[in-house]
Every structure is written in structure tokens, then in C-alpha cells.
A and B are shown apart, each in its own frame.
Chain A
Amino acid sequence: MNTSQISGSGQSQDLPVPLHIDRSWLEQLNNRLEKGGPWGDWRLAQLAIQGEEARLVTSFDELQCLKHLQGLSPLPHQLDTAHKVLFEMSGRAILADEVGLGKTIEAGMILKEYMIRGLVSKVLILVPASLVLQWVRELSSKFGIPAVAQKKAYTWHSDVVVASIDTAKRDPHKEFLLKQEYDMLIIDEAHKLKNKKTTNYQFIQKLRKKYCLLLTATPVQNDMSELFNLITLLKPGQLGRQGDFATNFVVGKRQPKNQDQLKDELAKVMIRNRRGEGPVHFTKRNVSNVSLQLSPEEQALYDGVTAFVKDQYKASGGNLSSMLSLVTLQREVCSSRDAVFLTLVNLSKKIPDESPLTAKVWELVTAIKAIKANTKAEKTIELIKQMNEKVIVFTEYRATQEYLLQYFQTHGLICVPYRGGMNRGKKDWMMDLFRGRAQVMIATEAGGEGINLQFCHHMINFDLPWNPMRVEQRIGRVHRLGQQKDVQIYNLSTSGTIEEHILHLLHEKINMFEMVIGGLDVILERFEKQESLEKSLYKLFLESDSNDEIRQKVSTLGQTLDQIKRQVDYESETVREEEA
């Protein structure tokens, strides 16, 4: 800058803080004087000044972002959180709200506020790959922040970049990123950074950042040291040295001591809002299990498939990995004959013609042909006609979906499909149709992003996934913030089949339909240290000889899950926010 031109310039020693003077204006003015213009428009100059006045930040600690955000009405706990992070925590915090309370909204508000104040311009947001687009979309639609999804190397140069952490930590990206200075770093699903020794952790530690937000619903998954590591990433020393932390706060691996003191310390870096506390109100979940009796033909098919699958399992010597398509068959038979048929056809293509299996497969196909009606579909129609409101029907199988679409339409119901494979535009269109004219949405996909169906409060589980997380995702589509009514959940299950046991496990044992589980993923992660729940279930069914045996084994499984749940509950009490 051209300090030399200034004579008698005021020196910054007059101020108790460093003063930076940008003198480019004088340089510009001199330039134009030399060239005789071009000169600016007075009206525009006045407009520029008015614009500056309109967005001037006149107070150190008053939230500005709200008046910039039309159409966003944050909940009280989200406002509180933003306020605390900005003005009490100086912009470095762990946002640890339970699932569904809007951590993204909180992070977006904080980011927006810093951007308005001109304290943040370069931002890096690291999230799991599957959430990148969702973040970009939310930031631009809800907050007017022009975020860019990282795709090519040059996108790193954008001001606000959303990228997957697994991409970012690899060269050549890593090398580039470590040379940058980020005004703000946001990490979603931050519990994945619990281990100090991982490359993810070390990479984040090295990134140069001014403000930093770590988002996680589950700050403690397995033991207390995870929390310590997370905080160390944010503010090393906040909980003292590693050794101090262990002696001061930890008894067992998962049991803290000096709880009050720990809570105080945690409250300085972490905010955890919980469901069922404060003003956030979730409506109830009402669950009805609809038990059905299969028709004799359907029962025959079910028994046939079960026997076939078990035989094959024995023949394979208990090797589960080669059995996957057969296990699928076992699950599909609870859904619809169409689903079974498709899998059988695919199976028969793979078996050589002369194999004895072919005969068995054809036997099953004959059994399918004998079936004239679908008991579940009939019941579903009956339910839908009774409620006479919008309803979403979930099934695991594409073939069942097609069948139901056609079946419902012949019965005069307007329905739309929803699948994971649809592109974004089609998904949005289906949502619009469902919001508008259609009464029924038949969906095969619940996870992923984008389906928020608060306007609908009935859901029917036509069949049940064996993975409880998927069940929770399904429910989460309708039972979320903004749902005004109690949510009615109908589970169809056919008695005397696997389904009955699965439902028993999910409903009675982990009680997952009624309680709002934030920590389900934690429970599952702990349980699945040995083997995935789905796999355990497959084995259990394939290896049991009688219904009673299945019942007994399922009950043991349920007890194990229940124990883990109690443990998790106990632990999360201790990381709970003090004001709660």
C-alpha cells in the first residue's frame, strides 16, 4: 500500500489495538485524476452507502442472521444454541443435539451470522459422501449461502466448499487443504473422529481453522476417551491433560466420576439438546400390529420356500455368505408372491438345467401360481379406506411395489411410487404429487435424503426390514420436527412366519416403535461388534428347527439389546447438559 504518499499520517500507536488502514481508495482516486476518469455515479455511491448502513453490524452480540433469513423460523433451542456458540463459546463448539433436533439448522445459522459479520468468508464443510448434496442444497435454500460440492480439484478454490472427508484427507487434496486457512470448519457426523490414531483425526487436527463446529448426535459411543479426543480436536486442554482427565473424570471405561464438574467443563464446549426436553414437542407414535393369517395357498408357498432355503443352508455346510440370495427369498416370501417370483426366475437362470434344484424351483413357481390373492394387500386396502387420509406404504421390494401400485390403482386409489433409483427431479415430482392429489405413496426407500413427509401421519410397514435402523429411518420420514399430529404406524405381520418374530423383537424387546430413539445407532454399533444384527437373525432362523427354538433365541437376542440400551441410557445421562 502506498503509505509514502501520506504525509502526517496518523499512527496506530494512538489506539490500544493494531489498526490496519486500507489506502487503496486514495490510489484509485489519484489514478482517475491522472486519467481524467472514469468517474462514478453519485446516486450509486449513495446507494452503496445506504447498503452499508442497512447491513452494518452495530452490536458485538446481537444475532443479525434472522432478518436475513426469510422463511426460516428456528425453534427456541436452535436460537439459544446459535447464541451460545457465537457469543459465549467464541465459535468453537460440539453441537451434540439428539437426532432430529436440527443440528444442521444451528450450524447454518452460526455460519450465516459469521458471514454477515464479515468474520468468515472461507469455509470448509466435511461430511459423509452421501450427505454432500443435501448440505449444499440446505445451505443455499435455507440460508442463501452459495456452497459448492467438491467435485473437481478447482472447486476447492470456492469460498464455501462441501466435501466428503474421505476425499479431503487423500492426496493431492490433502496437500492443498493443509496449506489453506479456513475461517470456519464444520464437520458433520463428527463421532467418526473419536480415534486419535486415525488418518481422519490427524488430518483434521492439522487443518488450519479459526472457528470450528463438530456435529454429532452421539458424542460418546463406546468410552469416555472418545469425548476427550473430540474436545481435544476443538480445544486441546479444555478437559486438562490426558492423564488429568483420566484421574479426574473417569472410573471405568464408560463411567465418569465428578459428574457435576465434568458437566460444567463440557458445557463450555458442547451443547446437547434432547428430545422431550424444553419446548421441542414431538407428537406421539401410535403403533398397531396387524396380525394376519395367510391363506392356505400362501402358507404352502411360505413353507415350501422355508424348507428349500433350510435345505440349501444345510447342504452348504452353514456357509452364510453363499446364501444371500436364498435368504432374500426367505424375506421376500413374507412380502408378496411377485417378489418371490422374480428372485426364483433369476435363480433358475443361474442353475444348470440338469441340476435337481431346477425341479424344486419349478415346484415353488407352481405354488406361486396357485395363489390367487394377497392377504396383506387386501388388508392394506381395508386400512387405507378406513383412515381415508394420506398414507405412506413402505416395502423392501421393487416387485411388491409394482404389484401394489397396480393393485391399488385397480381399486381406485391414486398412488405414486418412490424409489432410491429415481433422480432428484423425479423424486421431487413424486413428492409434489403425493402432497397434492395422490392419497398413497408406495416407497421402497426410506434412507438417504429429501423425503420429509410431515403432512402425512399414517404409515404402513407392508413388510419389515431386518435392520432396525431402516425401520427408524422409515418412521423418521413422517415423525419429525413439524409433524403436527400423532403418527399412526401399522405393522403388517403374518402369524407363524419369520416376520412375527422380527416384529416381536423390534416392538416388544427394543420397543423401538414407541420410544424415540436417538441412540439406536449406538446400541447397534455396540451389539454389532461381533456380527451384524441382520446376520445374527439369518443364522438364528436358518439354524433353528422349531418355532419355539426361534422364539427362545430371539428372546435372548432381545435381552442383550436391552442391556446395551440401558447402559447407553445411563451414559448419556452423564453427558447431558446441566440445565436440563
Chain B
Amino acid sequence: MSMSPQHVQEHMMTYLESTECQIIEKSPFHVTVKLSPQADKQLTNRPYYWGFVERTGVEPETLSFTFVFDPEQYDKNEQTHTDPQSQPQQDGILSRYFGTAPMVPRIGPGRIQREDVTYGSSRLQQIWNAARQDGSALYLFEQPAALQRETLFSAAYEPWLGVCFKAEMACDVKKEELHFVGISLVSGRIVSHFPERLKGLTMSPRLPENIHIQPASISLSQAAGSLESYMTRLLAEMDYGWAEQARERLSEELAVIDIYYEDLLKEPDEEKLVGIREQYGNRRSETTWQYEPKVHLSAITCGLFHLRSAR
């Protein structure tokens, strides 16, 4: 899957807004932003500066960026907007001999660095990773409609454990799957597409008024265990043709190695033989490392979701 510039911009804006950055200017092709301290720490890789700020207590000066999502359109726009008169004058003598010399860039605070952000750029990866870090554990409540606050009866809320799992099927090649599943701590019911259960709901960390939370009948670790066995069953039902093929490749490779070392291992010189044995063992274990099929299951995010009980 690739992403359009608009899509990239949406992702970037979500991050900038959630981290409370100050948006200075925005067009369909770019955004100019002064980072919040949180975003600055996550994005600019200036641990020494932030160490200095924390130790001395000075007012931090965060960096500003112009993130450009559609460089072609942005440049076109810029050109039509900038007045040629405002271009700084070149030194006549220098430019006569040396052509157009690049202007010395403005440095120091107040300088706004331009950066093109597209699907493959490391900045986008960085933002996703930062988001994963910041959104790794959640504790959320469904926000009730305005009507609920006025009714006499408090609404029953059901606690759910939701986990977004990432399954990685790896041998010498690799494939991945995401599964966002949820389990009710009251009933133990498992929902395989948890986002569908959350669809249309507004989630917030604030505890709403006039609600009560139903007591859990299963513990968090029990719930986690159930989700895990659910995932394991799901994974067990996959087609494992890929793994079989990988094992075939592995055994072929190992056979080739065995034949190669067969004669060498008859080496009469004990000292040399030690070296050959070691080499042989290393080569075999390297090959196993390369081809052996395996599945790895980890979580992107998880949390407790308090949702209004379905009647």
C-alpha cells in the first residue's frame, strides 16, 4: 500500500494536532508548524539541548518546519506568489564570474527548515513510531450523547480489553497481518474486529457523568490469556504452505553444506579439524537462522475501553 500526499498530510496533521504543535500556515500541499516541546523531543533528535533545558530551567526554543507533501505543486504555488523584486540581490561581480552562488542559509532560532514528506520518508516513519510509543496503553470511556446526562438513571458501562496484534510470518521472506481484537471483561465475549464495535463512538480519557461501570467477572490476565488463545487458534488456521516451502529450502541448503563438509571433516590434523568443525557448525546455524519459518506475535497498542452496554 502506498499513500497519496493528502493521506500523508492527514497523518502528519493528526500527529501535530495531538501533540499540540502550533500551526502557522497551511495549504493543501504543505504545513508550516512550530513544534511543541513534546514533538520537538520526539522528532528533532536533540537530547543534549533538552538535557540542557531541563537542567537549567530556561525557556525552551522549539524548532519550526515547513513540511511539504506535494513538492511539485508547492513549488509552483510559491513561484507565482513570490515577487521577483523581493529576491535578494546577487553580488554582481561574483555572479559574473561564478554563476549564481547559493545564498547563505539563515541559521539559528527563527529559521524554518523545509522538508519534503512523502510515503517513504523517514520523517513519516518517525511520526508513526512516536505515535505508537505515545499511544501504546489506553484507558478510555465512550462519551455519552447529551441526553444521557439529563436522564435519571445512570448508564451501565462494560469494560473491554482491546489489543491490536501484529502477526509476523517470517522465514527468508516475510508477511504480516494486523488483528485488532477485543474481549469483554464482563461476559468474556470476544469481538474479532474490535474497531467495528468502536465505530461511531467518541472516546475520551474523561469519566463521563452519570454512569456506572459494571464489575468485571474475569481478570485482566485471564482476558489477555483468552485473547492470546484466540489469536493462536486464528494463526493455526492459516495456510502454512509458505513454511513447508521454507523448510524444503532449508533442508536442501543443509544437504549441500553437509556434502561440502563431508570430506573436509575427515581431516586428520586435529588442530585443523577443530576449525573446520566450527566453520561447519556456524554455516549450518546461519542457514537455519536464514530459512527457519516462525511466527511472531506482538501488540501495537492495547487498552481498557469502557463502552456503554448494549441492551
Contact = CB atoms under 8 A, between A and B. Distances in A.
Interface of A: 5-12, 14-26, 28-30, 32-33, 37, 39-61, 67-70, 86-87, 90-92, 117-119, 144, 146, 181, 205-206, 208-211, 232, 235-238, 240-241, 243, 414, 416, 429, 432-433, 436-438
A42 to B, nearest CB: 5
Nearest to B8: A54
Given A42-B135, A209-B286, A437-B99, A7 B260 contact: no
Interface of B: 1-3, 11, 14-15, 17-19, 97-100, 102, 116, 118-122, 124-125, 127-132, 134-140, 163-164, 166, 168, 170, 172-178, 180, 203-205, 220-222, 224-226, 228-233, 235-236, 240, 242-243, 249, 253, 256-264, 279, 282-283, 286, 289-304
A90 B172 contact: yes
A47 B125 CA distance: 11
A462 B1 CA distance: 53
A236 B2 contact: no
A-B CB proximity, top 7 nearest: A45-B135, A51-B128, A237-B260, A10-B232, A68-B120, A437-B99, A10-B229
B295 A19 contact: yes
A52 B166 contact: yes
Contact of B263 (A42, A87, A210, A243): A243
Contact of B259 (A22, A237, A437): A237
A125 to B, nearest CB: 18
Given A18-B295, A43-B14, A6 B225 contact: yes
B21 to A, nearest CB: 13
B137 A14 contact: no
Contacts of A25: 136-137, 163, 298-299, 302
7 contacts: A8-B222, A16-B240, A40-B134, A44-B135, A49-B178, A57-B176, A58-B177
A47 B131 contact: yes
Contacts of B134: 40-41, 44-45
Contacts of B262: 241
Nearest to A14: B236
Contact of B131 (A7, A44, A208, A240): A44
A455 to B, nearest CB: 14
Nearest to B250: A90
A172 B111 CA distance: 44
A232 B232 CA distance: 41
Contacts of B228: 6, 9-10, 21
B18 A41 contact: yes
Given A40-B303, A52-B128, A118 B297 contact: no
B174 A60 contact: yes
A6 B219 CA distance: 10
A151 B235 CA distance: 46
A372 B35 CA distance: 66
Contacts of A235: 253, 256
Contacts, number: 275
B297 A57 contact: no
Nearest to B264: A241
A26 B297 CA distance: 13
Nearest to B139: A39
Nearest to B17: A43
B15 A8 contact: no
Nearest to B224: A26
A239 to B, nearest CB: 9
B49 to A, nearest CB: 20
Given A40-B136, A45-B301, A91-B290, A14 B232 contact: yes
A26 B222 CA distance: 11
Contact of B99 (A24, A61, A69, A438): A438
A9 B170 CA distance: 22
A237 B264 CA distance: 11
A265 B14 CA distance: 53
B175 A48 contact: no
B44 to A, nearest CB: 15
A112 B270 CA distance: 43
Contacts of A20: 294-297
Given A6-B224, A43-B18, A146 B296 contact: no
B259 A28 contact: no
Nearest to B204: A42
A28 B221 contact: no
A5 B122 contact: no
Given A7-B225, A18-B295, A56-B178, A437 B100 contact: yes
A70 B124 CA distance: 13
Contacts of B230: 10
Contact of B235 (A15, A144, A438): A15
A48 B232 contact: no
Contacts of A41: 18, 134-135
A380 to B, nearest CB: 20
A40 B135 contact: yes
A42 B138 contact: yes
Nearest to A38: B137
B119 A68 contact: yes
Contact of B14 (A47, A57, A206, A429): A47
Contact of B128 (A33, A40, A48, A87): A48
B295 to A, nearest CB: 5
Contacts of A86: 173
B296 A49 contact: no
B260 A12 contact: no
B263 A15 contact: no
Contacts of B122: 144, 146
B14 A17 contact: no
B294 A22 contact: no
Contacts of A28: 136-137, 302
A243 B266 CA distance: 14
A7 B220 CA distance: 10
B11 A50 contact: yes
A433 B99 contact: yes
Contacts of A7: 221-222, 225
A414 B262 CA distance: 69
Given A26-B220, A54-B1, 5 more contacts: A21-B298, A32-B139, A49-B300, A90-B291, A119-B173
A42 B264 CA distance: 61
Contacts of A40: 134-138, 301, 303
A232 B175 CA distance: 30
A42 B302 CA distance: 10
A145 to B, nearest CB: 9
Contacts of A55: 1, 125, 128
A61 to B, nearest CB: 6
Contacts of A208: 282, 286
Point out which of A30, A45, A232, A437 has the most chain B C-beta atoms below 10 A from its C-beta: A45
A356 B286 CA distance: 71
A416 B99 CA distance: 10
A48 B220 contact: no
Contacts of A19: 232, 235, 294-297
A578 B203 CA distance: 62
Nearest to A11: B232
Contacts of B259: 237, 240-241
Nearest to B161: A29
A21, A53, A211 — most chain B CB neighbours (10 Å): A21
B225 A9 contact: yes
A58 B127 CA distance: 22
A39 B225 contact: no
Given A7-B225, A8-B226, A118-B168, A42 B203 contact: yes
A44 B233 contact: no
